[in-house]
Structure 1
Amino acid sequence: MTSIQKRFCLTLALVVSTASLTSAAFPSFAAAEDQALQSVKNDEPTAERIGQYIDTAMHFYWHGGDLKKAEQEIFKGITLKGKYDVVENAFKEATILDPYNLDLKFSLASAQITQKKVSEALHTYQQILNLQPEHFNATLLYAVYSKVNGDEATYKRMMAKLDQIDAAKAAQFREKLSTTEAFFKLPLLLEAPDDLPKEKHAIVILGYALADDGSMQPTLVERLKTGLSVAKKYPQAKIIVTGGVPKNGVTEADAMTKWLLEQGIEKERILPENKATDTVENALFSTAILEQHGIRHVTLVSSASHIRRGMTIFTEISDYYAKMSGTGQPRTFTNVVYLDYPTLEEAQTVTKDEKLVVYRDLFRAAGIWQFPGVQR
């Protein structure tokens, strides 16, 4: 672990541990944010200054913060529009301090993708490739995000370059991309089919951020109602509720479990997954549970706007587990959605923004970290 990563881990541990307590009972939460927002001093070693920028980027990535304070103390003369703008500018400043560190540039490009700044991200990936033409991950992401941006010719050219860099690895990613593109045409189901397996079958209900007081927001309640309808139709199926971000001491999985119990679902059927912080981790940690219980068939439940991303990520991680275990047994997936569009026809349309997010999370699920060495 580098000194930068150690510094980040210590700061994040302090922020996370204090965030779970009220500021009145534990005033040092304010001190933790002050530490993340401290001015970067020119009389400190370069590694320390870079570490401060990474600390700031990750603090805002997870928790947000005082934008005006960040403008005044860290990014003098820059008007910040939101927390991800802070992430981008922090990595941008870090790359100025160390233009030789390509991981910092890769992190900057990821921050730009998160803000849907595709052209800016492509420019950053191009800088990496100017310095290291054989950089596989930068070539792959440059190719795919060019395609999302409507540049099919560059996509084909860069994919051909991938074949030259590592033909076997390129073939693996071509297959992943083909699977993802098939999910863009996935028929969305409003209710479970009648012919799903009755054995080794689980229903996975994806979480959604709780309100600050720990209560469930309408989107999560609707996902639960949809999952409940599937559970009643397939009473032998286990139910995985996944989501681990706590609000007021309650995780999504906690709240979902409580709701299902109140609807009469037997406690033995429910398998809570309460560590995940986003969709990629929903899939990672839920797949571990699926493996543990020998489940081969999954009905994935989420919002219509979220299901293509969920299916892409769960399939990718399930395939990885099959490879890791040496069984090679594919897991089958079907979907049932809560319709968060006016019509099903509109829900079937995949926008450029959705494709961008799906591909971004596909790469994360395939082991390419957003912010190398710091954040998946």
Structure 2
Amino acid sequence: MNKYKKKLGIALTAVLTATTISTAYVTTGSSAAPSEDVNVIKNDEPTADRIDQLKDIAMHFYWHGGDVQKAEKEIFKGITLKGKFDVVENAFKEAATIDPLDNNLKISLASTQVIQKKIPAALQTYKQILNIDPDHFDANLLYGTYSKVNGDEKSYKTSLAKMMQIDPERTKEYIQKFEKTEDIMDTTFNTEIPEGIPQKDHAIIILGYALAEDGTMKETLIERLNAGLKIAKKYPNSKIIVSGGVPKQGITEADAMSEWLIEQGIEKERIILESKSTDTVENGLFSTNILEKEGLKDVTLVTSASHMRRALTVFSEASDLQDKINGKNTERDFTNMVYLDYPSIEEAQEVTKDERMVIYRDLLRTSGIWQYPEMQR
């Protein structure tokens, strides 16, 4: 994220503003658009520069949004843009037109289509990669995974067969990941404090939720904290990891959560802040690293019911990755407690197609398949 924030003053000024403009996006983290007129990508720039400019536009809008109408009028003329991800998608489409053999650009385009739930369009984009490079493992994996999500088991199995030809061991690993993920989707949610939690080397991990612009916590995060507080009181030997790093008014989610727990009587020494993550995947990767450093084995995850299956998938994969890196087998046990953000527990237990898509997307991201290769996990 910081890389693209820092580049705004250079790349976006060059791309989005007139050559004599002295101001661009005024403050880091702002989604305000330039106050001056914008120009299209210049055709008298080297190929790599034009592609880089489009990638910078895409990553800026991915993170911060911007003036979509201005982008529609000045950069992507003749294309109707409905939101920031339309800008991201069309920036990668344009870049892939400039260099049609750059598969990373096509993967980035397909990822943006997945985010917008345009699964058939994403599958077609992956297919274009495979038409050029049939042995591209990641493209086969992505095509197969989203075919599965889309209900096309035949294409999924065909992709697996091709992957087995390319890299049998890696393919077997992904089959195991998919099987574990399907099991996680059958997880029963706990709305009350789970019983039998280990008294030693156990962590309660409370996952963050975006703060309001003034740095205060929203209801969802407070409800997650209330659930975590109940467990913390019943199991006083458990450490508490608060995970969330997106700052508002200089306050991260982890900062706000820690302060709240201390105000409720939890000892400061029990609380460990994970204040760098920007999404669920990073919650999992960074918190698991803390577990390893602190010698903590088993985990109770606390989050909203609508988020729990994805969180469990990510944390399970992150734990396996940590074990692989360290050459060990932790056999970490995950339990859960949810804030019920559904009308009923029966409705919460149902897995929709959209949720399945996001779960598999984040599984792949956690496993090392970046959404935007070399730019954004």
The aligned residue for residue 183 of structure 1 is 184
Report what 1:13 is aligned to: 6
The question of whether the paired residues in 1 share the 8 Å contact of 2:193 and 2:231 is answered with yes
Structure 2 counterpart of 1:338: 339
Q: TM-score, structure 1 length as denominator? A: 0.92
Cα distance between partner residues in 1 of 2:172 and 2:96: 32
1:30 shift after superposition: 2.9
Instruction: Tell me which residue corresponds to 1:80.
Output: 81
Partner of 1:336, secondary structure, is: strand
Cα drift, residue 128 of structure 1: 0.3
For the residue of structure 2 that corresponds to 1:330, the secondary structure is coil
The CA deviation at 1:70 is: 0.8
The C-alpha deviation readout for 1:307-346, integer Å capped at 9, x for no partner, is 0000000000101111211122221111110000000000
Residue in 2 aligned with 1:236?
237
In structure 1, runs of 5+ residues without a counterpart are: 1-7, 17-26
Name the counterpart of 2:316: 315
CA deviations 1:235-265 (Å, max 9, x no partner) are 1100000100011111100110111011010
Residue deviations 1:193-218 (CA, integer Å, cap 9, x gap): 22110100000000000111111111
Please tell me whether residue 68 in structure 1 is matched to residue 64 in structure 2: no
Deviation at 1:46, TM superposition (A): 1.0
Partner of 2:363: 362
Deviation at 1:100, TM superposition (A): 1.1
Aligned-partner residue type, residue 276 of structure 1: S
- Kindly indicate whether residue 256 of structure 2 is the aligned counterpart of residue 263 of structure 1: no
Residues in 2 aligned to 1:223 and 1:115: alpha-carbon distance in whole angstroms: 27
Cα deviations by residue, 1:88-116 (Å, 9 ceiling, x for unpaired):
11101100010011110111011100111
The one-letter amino acid paired with 2:134 is: P
Indicate the SS of the match to 2:26: helix
Q: Which residue of 1 aligns with 2:56?
A: 55
Do 1:206 and 1:243's aligned partners in 2 also have CA atoms closer than 8 Å?
yes
Question: Is the contact between residue 60 and residue 84 of structure 1 (CA under 8 Å) also seen in structure 2?
Answer: yes
Task: Please give the alpha-carbon distance, in whole angstroms, between the structure 2 residues aligned to 1:47 and 1:140.
Answer: 28
1:62–1:94 CA distance, 2 compared to 1 (3 A): same
Cα 1:330/1:38, change in 2 over 3 Å? farther
After TM superposition, give the deviation of residue 14 of structure 1 in Å: 4.6
Contact kept in structure 1, 2:200 and 2:237, CA below 8 Å: yes
Q: C-alpha displacement at 1:285, in angstroms?
A: 0.7
1:252 aligns with 2:245: no
The separation in 2 between residues aligned to 1:202 and 1:48, in whole angstroms, is 48
CA deviations over 1:3-22 (Å, ceiling 9, x no partner): xxxxx975532559xxxxxx
Partner of 1:133: 134
Q: Deviations over 1:181-235 (max 9, x none)?
A: 0111111111222211010000000000011111111110100000101101111
Q: Provide the C-alpha distance between the structure 1 equivalents of 2:303 and 2:165, rounded to a whole number of angstroms.
A: 39
Decide whether aligned partners of structure 1 residues 31 and 48 sit closer, same or farther in structure 2, where only a CA change above 3 A counts.
Answer: farther
User: Gaps spanning 5+ residues in structure 2: where?
Assistant: 10-22
Residue identity opposite 1:312 in structure 2: T
In structure 2, give the amino acid aligned to 1:80: L
For the 8 Å contact 2:4–2:59, the answer to whether it is kept is no
Residue 273 (structure 1) aligns with: 274
User: CA offset at residue 359 of structure 1?
Assistant: 0.3
**SS of 2:374 mapped into structure 1:** coil
- The letter of the residue matching 1:177 is F
Q: Structure 1 CA distance, aligned partners of 2:216 and 2:305?
A: 22
Letter in 2 for 1:196: I
Distance 1:38 1:313, change over 3 A: farther
Find the residue that maps to 1:315 and give its secondary structure.
helix
Aligned equivalents of 2:39, 2:257: Cα separation in 1:
39
Residue in structure 2 matched with residue 5 of structure 1 by the alignment: none
Bigger mean CA deviation after superposition, 306-315 or 159-168:
159-168
Cα-Cα RMSD: 1.7
Q: What residue identity is the alignment partner of 2:102?
A: N
Ranked by relative contact order (alpha carbons within 8 Å, sequence separation 6 or more), the top structure is: 1
C-alpha spacing 1:11/1:239, structure 2 compared with 1 (3 Å): closer
Q: What is the match of residue 26 of structure 2? A: 30
Q: Is the 8 A contact 1:322 1:330 kept in 2?
A: no
Query: Which one-letter code corresponds to 2:26 in the other structure?
Result: A
* Percent of matched pairs sharing the same residue: 59
Q: Quote the Cα distance in structure 2 between the aligned partners of 1:357 and 1:221.
A: 24
Partner of 1:30, secondary structure, is coil
1:140-186 Cα distance to aligned partner (Å, 9 max, x none): 11111111111111111111111111111100000000000011111
Partner residue in 2 for 1:106: 107
1 CA distance for matches of 2:53 and 2:24? 19
Q: Is the 8 A contact 2:164 2:171 kept in 1?
A: yes
> CA contact under 8 A between 1:12 and 1:55: conserved in structure 2?
no
Q: Superposed, which structure 2 residues align to 1:154-173 within 5 Å?
A: 154-173=155-174
Number of aligned positions between the proteins? 358
Distance in 2 between residues matched to 1:38 and 1:215, nearest whole Å = 38
User: Take 1:238 and 1:10, find their aligned partners in 2: how far apart are those partners?
Assistant: 33
> Is the partner of 1:265 in helix, strand or coil?
coil
SS in 1 for 2:242: strand
